[in-house]
Amino acid sequence: MSPNGHLGFAPTRPGSFYESLRHDPDFLIADSGSCDIGPGPLGGNTCASPREWQCHDLELMLLAARERKIPMLIGSAGDTGGNRSVDMFVEMIQQIASAHQLDEFRIGYFHSEVPTQAVADAIRRGTMVPGLDGRAELALEDIDRTDRIVAVAGSAPYISLLDAGADVIIGGRSSDCAVFAAPAIRAGFAEELAYYMGKVLECASFCAEPYGGKESVMGEITDSYVDVTAMHPDQRCTPSSVASHSMYERSHPYFEALAGGTLDMTECRYEQVAEKTTRVTGPKFAATDELFVKLEGSGLVGSRYIGFAGVRDEYTIRHIDDAIAWARGQVADRFGEGGYELHFHVFGRDAILGKAEFVTTPAHELGVVVEAVARDDAMAKSVAMTATRQLFYARLPQVKGTAGSVSFLFDEVLAASPAYEWTVNHVIPATALPGLFPTNVVSSLS
């Protein structure tokens, strides 16, 4: 059973969760991490999800799992799967167990962080570290800009911990679908069906219709097919909803790269076998001769401040690029051309799609978010302040007035979270980094 597509990011809905328990699941499994949150939490060693919501979801799952004596698996703990997040989740499980006076059980966990020095040493030994999504091969200069790296685990550490008798498993950074596939592979089911089940269950009710996030879904695997069933009374898993989710979050609609191979969904067939259930057949899995592991790394860019200017004046809207150029020029006159980043996000025109925006007529109101980043905190703040206020003072052709071109939601600029960038999005031979994903088992009473 999958109760939540990103544990802790928004609270699990209890109604469909309890409904799913009536179907006697063998495992309760949830993914708790994603690159969608950006590089900040990994680089800053923090969480994007509130601790209260993480506790809510962990408690819901743990009490149900221990009452039924079935295993509970969590992948990519605490949004990033970093070591701190794994340790925090282990501690939270122990605290919840203590608060509810649960009988002793075994908690298995593994870490996914890789020291930046270990990756640098591998490069110096001549290891090729190819980039993903058009990135160049990883270089030592990239490592120098990196604060933290995690390796993305496959199913192996989960299987190892289940073999060791763990009742609850808290995983470091992991392939989303591998967390769900691991128990099925361990039970002897075909990898292609196991990984497909993981792919479709990873985001819980995103594979159902109508849309409704954070609702539970059930997956059942057999020797020949996977069944997916929506648990919310108003949702259904249909061939359309399940097939469309299979294409979700990928550069190619039919292939999912994993540690150890590729899931091929080209020949999948989808059949409505019950009102709320779709059956899937036909996935394939092509194993690789050499095991590669994905690396994700994040590095600090600098402090970040945000300003906001609203624009309602029709003339200024038509000449918003001129106003931005004026503000940018005033910043350059004061601070020079380097040592900072300055970005203007024009909501109501092209802030979302950027150059790909196909609507050429702007809205009757614009919201300009001014984002300044610099290693020096004071400079980041001053750049943001200067750029935001200079939008107000922009000298535009044919404007004879002295004010009124923009308005400020607030007079000051606001400190935002530090800016990080993805510095590592690469794959490396597993043999180049011995000792990946070390596992441990502790008592719930520790």
User: What is the domain partition of the chain in residue ranges?
Assistant: 14-296+424-443, 314-405
Q: CB of 422 within 8 A of CB of 39?
A: yes
Query: Which residue carries 């409505």 as its tokens?
Result: 272
Give the DSSP H or E segment for 427.
Answer: strand 419-429
Question: Cα Rg for the chain, rounded, in angstroms?
Answer: 25
Q: Which residue has the tokens 């003339």?
A: 315
What sign for the dihedral angle of Cα 72, 75, 80, 83?
positive
Which of 37, 42, 43 shows the shortest CA–CA distance to 9? 37
Q: Are strands 168-170 and 72-79 parallel, antiparallel or unpaired?
A: parallel
pLDDT along the chain (446 residues), means of 10: 94 95 97 94 96 97 98 98 98 98 98 98 97 96 98 97 98 96 98 96 94 93 98 97 87 88 95 98 95 97 97 93 96 96 97 93 94 98 97 86 81 96 97 97 94
User: Of the candidates 141, 142, 143, 139, which has an alpha carbon nearest to the alpha carbon of residue 117?
Assistant: 143
- β-strand partners of 306: 371, 414
